[in-house]
């Protein structure tokens, strides 16, 4: 397949850039700087265009891949990490004692896992997003370690990496990369989750103007107890156009500055080995050169850090599910009931199919997104990353639960690791932005994009532009009469392999329907769509499904074309997933087309309002009587 | 409405459950019932007993007098029951029972038993059994024993009036007396159809017995008005009687207030240049009791003074709180109109007191000031109605809190307002 190979060549070209970069890209703001050519700026975005009913196939086809040398390099990293995790990490003990032993941490440091994405010049491994995702598959086998490492490098030191100046990088990154220092990310406060306006921690400039004094306390800080370097967000007074305003700024705070105290670790449901606690700052003097970015620019930094850290959850979950499949399938094959092994029962088989499909989809989404992020240019993949996070965290939970179910009562005991996996993965829908909030982010960002393009059209329609209306009616009649939608995935200019044509057609049909649904929503709600959270949730679900379909189609097409082992299985998984999701999407979009009284949204709101007004379940007990 | 399964054992257990009659009486009654089928011999057997009674009490006292006579000492349930028992024992034929029942129904409120189901059942029991049941199609076709049926219906009607729900016992009695498909049974069925449906129709039920203590009553009423589970009731003053040095007795009224956190927030944001008003009294009916309350409120902010909080794009870390679009909601999907949602101005707090004069209410305001420091800066105007209490002086003379009055407030103006302005009911009441 010609196109695939073209891409291969492009990615290969990226390899020498690592050397090239260190000279040029110093001032670069973005994490992806290392692999940037900066030849052209990219304004293309796949997920956003879905809201317009378009498939931007150049973004997602062919499926991104890495060069052979990189693959070899990666395999060299993966083997020892895998060995370490299977032989040296005792997850049950970590969970039970709620502590990662020092020797395990040392092992992780020796493997360089504390600086996976820190450039080599600062002593890190300098791996790309794709390779980071691959390593995360293995790291995720222990939830506590995964969270500790993620808090360290996905958010903790990301501020310095993304927005820090050269001096800050030189000073802090080497020790962070080696694991000598551990980083933490201090944003959340008791009164402030996503609401930046309610951050209470304050940084005031000292009289000599050399220090900021930070006061306040942060809660639920992963690594809070052992972190030496912290990215702290605090309120600062900034003068904007002559008016003094409070703005958020980011600081690098060393524990050694003094005045930093951490509380005792929280007793959690899962990821018990990770050290989560409250961190208080009492007049901590932070030199002015430790301000990350510029003063008052903390909000953007926080947003960028949060947005960039999410994509790896897809591969983590996939890694976990693959492990679970191994563990449970052994049981299912050996356990006998009624003279048949469990694996012969349809309901057990269904669970394994579900796990396989989920793992396959997550993997596809995660590596597609990572590949997009690794591409040259300035990629804007936060939407895709959020979609990966939502899909995989929820799929992960379902799969863990199903895996446990295969073992029945045994799975419920502590003799098996399933209950630990279940507890550990319950955090996934919660942290790094709850899924509810990310759904809002996904839907609203897309809506804004679509609105920018469609506002004029919708306004014309409202004014009663007859030609536009006739054109739209004609289009809808054409589609309803069975006129197929062609967005160019198949046919002469094909990017999806012909053996997946049916699934590709389904995706095209869904995307086109989704485009008109979004237009209808904009027409109906305008900017007040912000308050229609139930509708937005459906929008987000549809677009996540569409992205998932794209990812599997793209991946399976590539596999067929280059003849990967067992690609027939991939075709099967892809077709199954697309078929299933096609119907789910149609259902969601039909619901969206209806008004709230018909699609149950109004009822749901009523029920919730009644319950919340009473702050209790409202119905009488079934045993109550009136006479 | 009850299924016959539960009815049957009751019927089997005794003809007239809980009748409280002696065994002898019971036997007599059975005989009577038995005899009814053969009227020819009816006269012979029970005569002795009957005559024995009538000879003893021949006076033609009306039934109402019977109640008066019996209940000279006290009008209670016990005496009422006793009257019924006496009547039952007087005459085995229950002569004049319809009149007796009417009289009893009339007397029930006096004896305070108008809501007592057992008394109604006992009264139903006065009807002779099986006599009024139609036995053939002609009887069934016409109104059989209309006077008695009417009386039975009246009894049920009174139960209905007082909200007493008949039970199985009532049904068994009615069946024994009038038979199925009689008017009283129909009435019973209708009651049983509607009553349960209406029993919990009020989403804000008032208990049958209200708290006696005025403070408790105020607490109950205030939580009832304030539609907020977070609202906190504060007792500023308990009712008490003090004797001053001069020997004068001063009765201090109770003063109970309520305020919710959201009201405190609203008050904190109030523009200090615009006055707040203490208004009242407003009535609140709780069954047959009427209580009065006062509100602290302000006029709605005029449109030109309303400050929209500017949208801060750096507010939410995760998603945009507003969309930057030039599109509004479509007309067909405009659902924001709400008849309840009128801008009447905010209500900041409410209170109840037995003495709604300005001195007492000022005490309330100064109590509120502890948690709402803004009240020290805002001019507070009292616009009190005469209300149920004795008319209050509308002048501003008693002012224990100088801060509550600022120069923005002209005494004359305030006095005018107090006289002229109608109190506004600016808050939602539950009932």
- Together in a domain, A195 and A212: yes
Quote the crossing angle between the two packed helices A346-374 and A129-139, to the nearest 10°. Answer: 150
Residues A144 and A274 in one domain: no
Q: Looking at chain A, which residue has its C-alpha nearest residue B191?
A: A627
Q: B376: which DSSP letter?
A: G
A136 and A122 within one domain: yes
CA-nearest residue to A450 within chain B is: B325
Between chains, do B329 and A441 touch, taking CB under 8 Å as contact? no
> What does chain B come to in residues?
431
pLDDT of residue B307: 75
A385 and A333 belong to one structural domain: yes
Question: Residue A484 domain-assigned?
Answer: yes
Residue B334, pLDDT score: 62
Asked whether the beta carbons of A144 and A424 are under 8 A apart, the reply is: yes
* Average pLDDT estimate for B286-292: 90
Please say if the pLDDT value at position A178 is more than 60.
yes
State whether residue B245 sits within 8 Å of chain A by CB: no
pLDDT of residue A504: 95
Q: Rounded CA gap, A281 and A235, in Å?
A: 13
Rounded Cα gap, residues A546 and A53, in angstroms: 11
B322 in reach of chain A (CB within 8 A): yes
* Assigned domain for A20 exists: no
Is the pLDDT confidence value at A488 over 80? yes
Q: First and final CA of chain A: distance in angstroms?
A: 78
Q: How confident is the model at residue A481 (pLDDT cuts 50, 70, 90)?
A: low
The token pair at A623 is 């045993």
- B87-91, B156-160, B295-299, B371-375: which is most confident: B156-160
Q: Is the pLDDT score of B168 beyond 80?
A: yes
* Extended strands (E) in A165-308: 183-186, 202-205, 211-222, 229-240, 243-254, 260-262, 276-287, 291-292
For residue range B177-191, list pLDDT tens digits in order: 999 889 999 999 999
Is A525–B329 a contact, with Cβ atoms under 8 angstroms apart? yes
Place of tokens 């109608």: B422
Side-chain-facing half-sphere of B360: CA atoms under 13 Å: 26
C-alpha span between A123 and A165 (Å, rounded)? 17
CATH at A407: 1.20.140.10
In the prediction, which pLDDT does A380 show? 80
pLDDT tens, position by position, B268-286: 988 888 999 999 899 999 9
Residue among A187, A299, A528 whose CB faces B329 most closely: A528
Q: Please report how many Cα atoms fall inside a 13 Å half-sphere around the Cα of residue A590, on the Cβ side.
A: 6
Task: Name the phi and psi angles at A112, rounded to 5.
Answer: 80, 15
What chain A residue is nearest to B317 in terms of C-alpha separation? Answer: A194
Contact A194 B320 (CB under 8 A): no
Give the gap in angstroms from C-alpha B323 to the nearest C-alpha of chain A. 6
A618, part of any domain: no
pLDDT, tens digit, 9 for 90 and up, residues B240-278: 877 777 777 778 888 999 999 989 988 998 888 899 999
Contact yes or no for B316 and A195 at CB 8 A? yes
Residue for token digits 């259902």? A587
Distance CA A496, CA A493 (A): 9
Place of tokens 């995760």: B318
Q: Does one domain contain both A605 and A478?
A: yes
CA dist., res. B191 & res. B168, Å (int)? 13
Q: Which of B323, B333, B334, B428 is best to mutate for the A interface (most A CBs within 10 A)?
A: B323
Which chain A residues have any C-beta within 8 angstroms of a chain B C-beta? 187, 194-197, 247-248, 299, 302-303, 306, 433, 437-438, 440-441, 444-445, 447-448, 451-452, 455, 458-459, 462, 522-530, 595, 615, 620, 626-627
Asked whether the predicted pLDDT for residue A116 surpasses 50, the reply is yes
Distance (Å, rounded) from C-alpha B339 to C-alpha A173?
A: 62
Residue A310 lies in a domain: yes
What is the pLDDT at residue B37? 40
* Predicted pLDDT at A36: 38
Do B156 and B191 touch, CB atoms closer than 8 A?
A: yes
pLDDT-derived band at A513 (thresholds 50, 70, 90) equals very high
Gap between the Cα atoms of A296 and A291, Å rounded: 10
Best of A527, A597, A599 to mutate (most B CBs within 10 Å, chain B): A527
Which of A430, A464, A491 delimits the end of a domain? A430
B309–A contact, CB cutoff 8 A: no
Question: Which value, to the nearest 10 degrees, does the dihedral of the CA atoms of residues B359, B364, B365, B366 take?
Answer: 90
pLDDT > 50? residue B14: no
* A14 min Cα distance to partner chain B (Å): 32
The reply to whether B161 touches chain A by the CB within 8 Å rule is: no
Contact B322 A626 (CB under 8 A): no
Given a cut of 80, whether residue A2 has pLDDT beyond it is: no
Lowest mean pLDDT segment, chosen from A461-470, A615-624, B278-287: A461-470
Per-residue pLDDT band at A138 (split at 50, 70, 90): very high
**What pLDDT, on a 0 to 100 scale, did the predictor assign at position B186?**
94
Domain count, chain A: 4
Which of these ranges, A248-252, A488-492, B46-50, has the smallest mean pLDDT?
B46-50
Please give the average per-residue pLDDT across B376-396, as a whole number: 67
Residues on chain B touching A444 (C-beta within 8 angstroms): 319-320, 323
**Residue A6's pLDDT band (cuts 50, 70, 90):** very low
Last residue of a domain, one of A158, A178, A198: A178
A400 has pLDDT over 60: yes
Q: Please indicate, yes or no, whether residues A340 and A275 belong to a single structural domain of this protein.
A: no
User: Which residues of chain A make contact with B324, given a CB cutoff of 8 A?
Assistant: 448, 527
Q: What is the mean pLDDT of residues A375-384?
A: 82
The answer on A566 and A472 residing in a single domain is yes
Give the chain A residue whose CA is nearest to the CA of B192. Answer: A627
Helix (H, G, I), strand (E, B) or coil at A489: coil
Span B152-161, average pLDDT: 95
Does residue A612 have a pLDDT over 70? yes
Give the confidence band of A90 by pLDDT, cuts at 50, 70, 90: very high
- Least confident span in A134-143, A369-378, A442-451, A573-582: A369-378
Token couple for A240: 């904007």
Is there a domain that residue A270 lies in?
Answer: yes
Q: Can you count the helices (H) and strands (E) in chain B?
A: 15, 8
Q: What is the pLDDT of residue B326?
A: 82
Q: Which of B165, B229, B327 sits opposite A527 (nearest CB)?
A: B327
Give the pLDDT confidence score for residue B385 in this predicted structure: 82
The answer to the question of residue A324 being in a domain is: yes
Residue B46 scores a pLDDT above 60: no
B429 — pLDDT class (breaks 50, 70, 90): very low
Q: Are residues A447 and A575 in the same domain?
A: yes
Instruction: Give the active site residues of A.
Output: 432
Rounded mean pLDDT of chain A?
88
Can you give the pLDDT at residue B202? 87
Q: Name the domain boundary from A401, A430, A459.
A: A430
CB atoms within 10 A of CB A268: 18
Query: What are A189's strand-pairing partners?
Result: A192
Q: At which residue do the structure tokens 């008017």 appear?
A: B183
Residue A206 domain-assigned (yes or no): yes
B366: closest CA among B398, B400, B414, B397?
Answer: B400
Check pLDDT > 60 for residue A186: yes
Lowest mean pLDDT among A172-176, A464-468, B54-58, B205-209: B54-58
CB-CB neighbors (< 8 A) of A197 in chain B: 312, 315
Q: Give which of A310, A316, A444, A301 is closest to A387, Cα–Cα.
A: A310
My answer on whether A463 and A510 are in the same domain is yes
Candidate from B196, B322, B333 with C-beta closest to A530: B322
pLDDT at B74: 81
Give B227→chain A minimum CA distance, Å.
Answer: 9
Token duo for residue A171 = 């000073």
CB–CB of B327 and A455 under 8 A?
yes
The verdict on a CB contact (< 8 Å) between B314 and A529 is no
**b/e map of A18-29 (b: 16 or more CB within 10 Å)?**
eeebeeebeeee
Q: Once rounded to an integer, what is the mean pLDDT over residues A412-418?
A: 93
- Position B61 confidence tier, pLDDT thresholds 50, 70, 90: low
In this prediction, residue A44 has a pLDDT band, given cuts at 50, 70 and 90, of low
Asked if residues A358 and A321 have their Cβ atoms less than 8 Å apart, the reply is yes
And the tokens for B30? 């059975």
Query: Could you tell me which residues come within 8 angstroms of residue A390 by beta carbon, excluding any fewer than 6 positions away?
Result: A429, A435, A438, A439, A442, A540, A544
**B165 — contact with chain A (CB < 8 Å)?**
yes
Pairing relationship of beta strands A202-205 and B276-286 according to DSSP bridges: unpaired
Burial A394-415 (b: 16+ CB within 10 A, else e): bbbbebbbbbbebbeeebeeee
Task: From residue B5, give the alpha-carbon distance in Å to each of A136, A626, B1.
Answer: 69, 19, 11
**pLDDT in the model for residue A226:** 92
Residue-wise pLDDT for A300-336, tens only, equals: 999 989 888 888 899 999 999 999 999 999 999 999 9
What is the per-residue pLDDT for A193? 80
- Asked whether residue A94 is domain-assigned, the answer is yes
Residues B321, A433: C-beta atoms closer than 8 Å: no
**Same-domain check for residues A442 and A576:** yes
Q: Are residues A73 and A209 in the same domain?
A: no
Does A444 sit within 8 Å of B196, measured CB to CB? no
**A526 closest CB neighbour out of B200, B319, B328:** B328
Domain of A272, in residue numbers: 183-300
Minimum mean pLDDT range among A157-171, A603-617, B338-352, B370-384:
B338-352
Counting Cβ atoms within 10 Å, is residue A101 exposed (0-12), middle (13-18) or buried (19+)?
Answer: middle
- pLDDT for the residue numbered B19: 41
Evaluate if residue B339 carries a pLDDT over 80: no
Domain edges within chain B: 52-198, 214-302+343-430
**Shortest CA gap A523–chain B (Å):** 7
Residues A353 and A425 in one domain: yes
């Amino acid at each position: 397949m010609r196109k695939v190979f073209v891409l291969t060549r492009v990615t290969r070209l990226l390899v020498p850039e690592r050397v090239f970069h260190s000279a040029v890209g110093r001032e670069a703001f973005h994490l992806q700087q290392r692999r940037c050519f900066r030849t052209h700026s990219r304004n293309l975005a796949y997920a956003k265009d879905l809201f317009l009913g378009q498939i931007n196939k150049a973004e997602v086809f062919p499926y991104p891949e890495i060069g052979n040398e990189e693959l070899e390099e990666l395999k060299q990293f993966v083997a020892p990490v895998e060995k370490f995790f299977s032989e040296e990490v005792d997850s049950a003990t970590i969970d039970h004692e709620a502590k990662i032993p020092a020797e395990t941490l040392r092992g992780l440091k020796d493997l360089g896992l504390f600086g996976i994405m820190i450039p080599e010049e600062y002593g890190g491994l300098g791996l790309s997003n794709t390779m980071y995702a691959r390593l995360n598959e293995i790291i995720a086998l222990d939830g506590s370690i995964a969270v500790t490492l993620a808090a360290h490098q996905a958010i903790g030191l990301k501020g310095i990496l993304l927005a820090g100046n050269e001096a800050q990088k030189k000073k802090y990154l080497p020790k962070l990369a080696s694991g000598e220092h551990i980083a933490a990310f201090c944003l959340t406060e008791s009164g402030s989750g996503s609401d930046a306006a309610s951050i209470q921690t304050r940084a005031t400039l000292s009289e000599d103007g050399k220090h900021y004094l930070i006061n306040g306390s942060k809660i639920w800080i992963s690594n809070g107890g052992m972190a030496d370097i912290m990215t702290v967000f605090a309120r600062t007074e900034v003068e904007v156009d002559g008016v003094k305003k409070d703005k958020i700024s980011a600081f690098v705070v060393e524990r050694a500055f003094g005045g930093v105290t951490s509380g005792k670790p929280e007793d959690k449901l899962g990821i018990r080995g990770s050290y989560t606690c409250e961190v208080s700052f009492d007049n901590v003097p932070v030199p002015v050169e430790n301000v990350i970015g510029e003063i008052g620019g903390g909000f953007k930094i926080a947003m960028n850090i949060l947005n960039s850290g999410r994509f790896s959850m897809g591969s983590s979950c996939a890694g976990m599910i693959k492990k679970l499949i191994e563990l449970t399938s052994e049981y299912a094959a050996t356990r006998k009931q009624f003279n048949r092994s469990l694996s012969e029962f349809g309901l057990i088989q269904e669970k394994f199919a579900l796990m396989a499909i989920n793992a396959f989809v997550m993997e596809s989404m995660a590596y597609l997104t990572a590949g997009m992020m690794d591409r040259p240019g300035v990629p804007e993949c936060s939407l895709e990353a959020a979609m990966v996070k939502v899909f995989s965290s929820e799929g992960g939970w379902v799969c863990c639960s199903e895996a446990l179910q295969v073992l029945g009562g045994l799975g419920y005991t502590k003799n098996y690791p399933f209950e630990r996996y279940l507890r550990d993965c319950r955090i996934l829908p919660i942290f790094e932005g709850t899924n509810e909030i990310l759904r809002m982010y996904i839907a609203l960002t897309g809506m804004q994009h679509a609105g920018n393009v469609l506002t004029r059209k919708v306004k014309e329609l409202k004014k009663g532009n007859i030609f536009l209306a006739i054109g739209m009616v004609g289009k809808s009649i054409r589609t309803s009469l069975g006129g197929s939608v062609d967005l160019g995935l198949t046919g002469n200019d094909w990017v999806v392999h012909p053996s997946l044509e049916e699934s590709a057609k389904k995706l095209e049909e869904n995307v086109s329907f989704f485009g008109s649904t979004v237009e209808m929503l904009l027409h109906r709600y305008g900017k007040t769509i912000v308050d229609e959270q139930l509708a937005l949730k459906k929008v987000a679900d549809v677009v996540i499904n569409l992205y998932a379909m794209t990812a599997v189609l793209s991946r399976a097409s590539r596999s067929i074309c280059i003849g990967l082992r067992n690609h027939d299985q991939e075709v099967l998984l892809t077709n199954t997933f697309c078929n299933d999701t096609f119907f789910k999407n149609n259902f969601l979009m039909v619901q969206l087309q209806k008004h709230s009284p018909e699609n149950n949204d109004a009822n749901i709101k009523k029920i919730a309002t009644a319950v919340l007004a009473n702050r209790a379940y409202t119905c009488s007990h079934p045993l109550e009587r009136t006479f | 409405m009850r299924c016959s399964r539960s009815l049957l054992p009751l019927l089997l257990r005794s003809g007239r459950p809980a009748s409280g009659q002696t065994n002898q009486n019971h036997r007599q009654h059975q005989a009577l019932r038995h005899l009814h089928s053969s009227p020819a011999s009816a006269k012979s057997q029970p005569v002795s007993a009957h005559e024995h009674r009538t000879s003893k009490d021949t006076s033609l006292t009306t039934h109402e007098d019977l109640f008066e006579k019996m209940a000279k000492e006290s009008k209670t349930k016990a005496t009422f029951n006793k009257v019924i028992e006496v009547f039952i024992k007087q005459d085995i034929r229950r002569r004049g029972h319809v009149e007796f029942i009417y009289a009893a129904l009339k007397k029930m409120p006096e004896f305070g038993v108008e809501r007592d189901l057992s008394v109604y059942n006992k009264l139903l029991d006065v009807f002779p059994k099986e006599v009024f049941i139609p036995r053939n199609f002609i009887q069934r076709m016409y109104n059989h024993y209309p006077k008695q049926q009417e009386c039975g219906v009246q009894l049920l009607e009174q139960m209905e009036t007082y909200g007493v729900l008949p039970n199985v016992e009532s049904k068994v009695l009615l069946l024994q007396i009038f038979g199925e498909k009689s008017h009283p049974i129909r009435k019973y069925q209708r009651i049983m159809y509607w009553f349960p449906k209406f029993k919990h129709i009020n989403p804000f039920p008032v208990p049958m017995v209200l708290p006696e203590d005025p403070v408790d009553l105020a607490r109950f009423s205030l939580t009832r008005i304030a539609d907020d589970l977070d609202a906190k009731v504060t007792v500023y003053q308990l009712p008490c009687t003090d004797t001053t040095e001069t020997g004068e007795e001063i009765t201090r009224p109770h003063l109970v207030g309520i305020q919710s956190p959201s009201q405190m927030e609203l008050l904190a944001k109030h523009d200090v240049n615009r006055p707040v008003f203490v208004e009242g009294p407003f009535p609140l009916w709780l069954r047959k009791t009427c209580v009065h309350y006062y509100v602290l409120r302000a006029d709605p902010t005029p449109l030109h003074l309303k400050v929209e909080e500017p949208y801060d794009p750096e507010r939410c870390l995760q998603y945009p709180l507003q969309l930057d679009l030039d599109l509004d909601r479509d007309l067909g999907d405009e659902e924001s109109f709400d008849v309840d949602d009128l801008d009447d101005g905010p209500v900041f707090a409410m209170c109840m007191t037995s003495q709604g004069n300005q001195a007492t209410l000022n005490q309330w305001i100064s109590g509120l000031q502890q948690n709402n420091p803004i009240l020290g800066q805002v001019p507070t105007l009292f616009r009190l109605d005469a209300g149920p209490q004795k008319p209050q002086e509308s002048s501003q003379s008693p002012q224990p809190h100088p801060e509550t009055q600022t120069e923005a407030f002209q005494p004359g103006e305030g006095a005018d307002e107090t006289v002229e302005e109608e109190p506004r009911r600016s808050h939602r009441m539950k009932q």
